[in-house]
Amino acid sequence: MNPFTYSYPVKVYFGEMAAKNLAAELTNAGPNVMLAYGGGSIKKNGVYDELIGILKDAGKTVTEFTGIMSNPTYAKAQEGAVLAREKNIDFILAVGGGSVIDCCKIVSAQAKLDKDIWELEYTDHKQPTEFIPMGAVVTAFGTGAEMNNGAVITNEEKMLKSALWGAFYSFAILDPAYTMTMPMKQVISGAFDSLSHSMETYMGSPREVNLSDEINEATQRNIIRNIRATLKDPQDIQARSELIWAAAMAENGILKIGKATDFQCHMLEHQLGAYTDCNHGQGLAVLHPVLYKHMMPEANHQFARLAAEVWGINPVGKTEADLAEAFVDALIAFIREIGLPTTFAEMNISADTDFKAIADSTVLTGGCAKKFTRKELLEVLLECR
Ligand code: NZQ
Ligand code: ZN
C-alpha cells in the first residue's frame, strides 16, 4: 500500500427529507445566496419550490443562476462568476447532477480571482485558494462530483474537456427521493459512470490485493445489482438509495486510499466529449471494453480478479488470460443488457469525427497498467465506431 493521509471535508446528509438539514446549514451562510441549477427539471419535480421555500424562510436574498448545461462550458462558469461578483454572493447552493455541481466549483473560485482560472491552473500551474462557500443538493447521481473538488469543464475555444481544481462543497444533500424523476437513460448512464470510477480506481497500482480494492469490489457488485433492480422497478427507492451512495463512495477517496488510479478511459472520454458533446456515461460504456481489450495482457492480473470477485466467474482451471477475456465479455454483455451503447454509431457520433485530434489531445495517465501511445488511443477510437 502506498503511504497516505485521509481526511474529508464534505459533510453528507443522506436520506429522504435530507433537505431539512439545509435550514440548519444556512444559518452559517451570509445573506446573499446563489441558487444554481440546470435546464429546469427542478421546477417540474417540486425540488425548486421546496428549496426556495427553505431559502426564503431563512431570510436569504436569492439570485438564480440557471441554464447550466450538461457538459458545462467554461463560458457558462465565467458567466456565473460575473453574476456572483455583481450580486455579492456569500453562498452558492448547487442543485442538480455533476454538470451543475462542477460548474459551481469554478464559479466559486473564479468569483474570488482576478486572474483567469484556466490560465492560473494550466499556465501558472497554481490552484485557487479562496472560494465562495457552497452546498450541493444532488438530483442526479453517478459522477460523485459532490464529493471532490475537481470540475470537468469544456473549454470550447481550446477544444478541451479538462479538470479544473475548485472548491470542495462544505455539505452535500443526498436525498434519493429527488432522483425519482431522473430519465431512466440518465439513471443508467450515471450509474455506469460510478461503475467506471470504481473500475478505473481498481485498475491502478498497487496490483496486489488490498483493502481499498476489496471495498471497491463490493461497490462494483452493489452498483451492478442496483442497476438491475432499478431497471426492473424504476420506483425502487431502495435501489436508488444504494446507487446515490455508491456514486459518492466511488469518489469520496476511500476506494483510492493507498492507490495510484488509472482513469485513462475517462481522459479519452472527456476529449470525446470536447469534440462531440456526448453523454459521459454512454461514452464510457462504448470505450471501456475496447480500451480494456487493448490493456491485455498488461492488465490481466487485475482483470482476472474482477472476473472472479465482481462478475462471479469461476476461476478454477482458468488462466489469468482466460479470466481477463471472460471479464471483458461479461462487461460487454452487461452494457448490452442495461441498454447502453456499444458503438459510437449508436450514440450518433459521426464516423467523420476528428478522432486523431481527440487521441492527440487526450491526457496519458501514469496509473494505467498499460502506457498507451497516441497511435493506440486512435486505434481504440476507430474500433469504437
Ligand atoms: O438540466 P436539468 O433540466 O436539471 O436536467 C438534467 C440534465 O439534463 C437531468 N436531471 C438531473 N436531475 C434530474 C434530472 N431530470 C429529471 N429529474 C431529476 N431529478 O439530468 C441531465 C444530466 O445531468 P448532468 O448533471 O449533466 O449529468 P451527470 O450527473 O452525469 O454529470 C455529467 C457531467 O459531470 C462530469 C461529466 O464529464 C459531465 O460533464 N463528471 C464530473 C466528475 C467529477 N467532478 O468528479 C467525474 C465524472 O467522471 C465526470 O467527468
Ligand atoms: Zn466519470
Per-residue pLDDT band at 4 (split at 50, 70, 90): confident
Residue 150 Cβ contacting ligand 1 at under 6 Å? yes
Tens digit of pLDDT for each residue in 170-184?
Answer: 999 999 999 999 999
pLDDT tens digit sequence for 290-300: 999 999 999 99
Which ligand sits closest to the CA of 136?
Answer: 1
Using the mean position of ligand 2's atoms as its centre, give its distance from the Cα of residue 57 in Å. Answer: 36
Ligand 1 atom with the smallest distance to the CA of 140 is 12
pLDDT band at 19 (very low <50, low <70, confident <90, very high): confident
The model's confidence at residue 62, banded by pLDDT at 50, 70 and 90, is very high
Cα(371)–Cα(298) distance, integer angstroms: 9
Task: Return the pLDDT at 209.
Answer: 86
pLDDT above 80 (res 1): no
Model's pTM, two decimal places?
0.98
Q: What is the pLDDT of residue 325?
A: 98
Write out the residue limits of the CATH 1.20.1090.10 domain(s) in the chain: 189-383
178 lines ligand 1 (CB under 6 A): yes
The answer, yes or no, to whether any atom of ligand 1 lies below 6 A from the CB of 46, is no
Residue 24 has pLDDT above 90, yes or no: yes
Which CATH architecture best describes the domain 189-383?
Answer: Up-down Bundle (1.20)
- Whose C-alpha lies nearest to ligand 1, atom 8? 70
219 grid coordinates: 461497490
How far CA 205 is from CA of 201, 263, 325, in Å, comes to 9, 12, 21
Instruction: Give me the pLDDT at residue 383, please.
Output: 98
Kind and range of the H or E run holding 91: strand 91-96
Across 3-30, average pLDDT: 91
Grid coordinates belonging to 66: 440557471
Q: How far is the CA of 154 from the centre of ligand 1 (A)?
A: 14
Report the percent of the chain where pLDDT is more than 70. Answer: 100
pLDDT of residue 3: 83
146 pocket-lining for ligand 1 (C-beta < 6 Å)? no
What average pLDDT does range 115-123 have in this prediction?
A: 97
From 45, 64, 108, 143, mutation site for ligand 1 pocket: most ligand atoms within 8 A of C-beta: 143
Assess whether the C-beta atom of 212 lies below 6 angstroms from ligand 1.
Answer: no
Q: What percent of the chain has pLDDT over 90?
A: 95
**What pLDDT digit, counting tens, does each position of 147-201 carry?**
999 999 999 999 999 999 988 999 999 999 999 999 999 999 999 999 999 999 9
3-state secondary structure of 17: coil
Ligand 1, atom 47, residue with closest C-alpha: 143
What does the pLDDT look like over 201-234, one tens digit per residue? Answer: 999 998 888 999 999 999 999 999 999 999 999 9
pLDDT at 165: 94
For 327, residues 6+ apart whose C-beta sits below 8 A from its C-beta are 292, 303, 304, 306, 307, 311, 313
Q: What is the CATH number of domain 11-179?
A: 3.40.50.1970
Q: Does ligand 1 lie within 6 Å of residue 349's CB atom?
A: no
When the pLDDT of each residue in the chain is averaged and rounded to a whole number, the result is 97
Q: Which of 200, 193, 197 is nearest to 251 (CA)?
A: 197
C-alpha cell at 193: 459512470
Distance 152 CA to ligand 2 centre (A): 9
Range 270-291 average pLDDT: 98
Atom of ligand 1 nearest to the CA of 197: 48
pLDDT at 85 over 80: yes
pLDDT band at 347 (very low <50, low <70, confident <90, very high): very high
Q: Taking each helix axis as running N to C, give the angle between helix 280-294 and helix 184-202, from 0 to 180 degrees, rounded to the nearest 10.
A: 40
DSSP state of 206: -
60's CB contacts (< 8 A; 6+ apart) are 26, 29, 31, 32, 33, 91
How far, in Å, from the CA of 348 to the mean position of ligand 1?
19
Enumerate the CATH 3.40.50.1970 domain ranges in the chain, comma separated. Answer: 11-179
Nearest ligand to the C-alpha of residue 148?
Answer: 1
Per-residue pLDDT, 211: 95
